[in-house]
Amino acid sequence: NLHENGKFSVESMYRALIQSDVPVDNNKKIWKMKIPLKNKIFAWYLRRGVILTKDNLIKRNWHGSPRCVFCHHDETIKHLFFQCKLARLYDQSSR
């Protein structure tokens, strides 16, 4: 169980992955989690840092704005899922 209240959240999954001492190339912990497969795949993408946020798109020669459409900060994985005001509001409303 990744969340203290018994409910799964992206934030609790991310924190469990980041706080673990498991090397990035060792994904066994992700695949052993008792969560749906689609969440395991998403966790694997998070862990690898390959979710196509604007900073990752720019690295692939995309020519759009690097700013978050919700708050105009630079859009990174960490920002979009954990720091953006909208992400925090969504996380609070889902509890």
d(C-alpha 18, C-alpha 13), whole Å: 9
d(C-alpha 48, C-alpha 42), whole Å: 10
Q: Do 33 and 2 contact (CB within 8 A), yes or no?
A: yes
Domain boundaries, the chain: 1-49, 51-95
The conformational region for residue 75 under phi > 0 = left, psi -120 to 50 = alpha, else beta, is beta
Average pLDDT, integer, range 70-83 = 91
Please provide the average confidence, as pLDDT, over all residues in the chain.
80
pLDDT digits (tens, 9 = 90+) for 9-42: 766 766 666 665 545 556 788 888 888 999 899 8
pTM of the model: 0.63
The pLDDT value given to residue 1? 46
Q: Which of 48, 46, 50, 55 is nearest to 81 (CA)?
A: 46
The pLDDT value given to residue 20? 59
Q: Which amino acid is at 57?
A: L
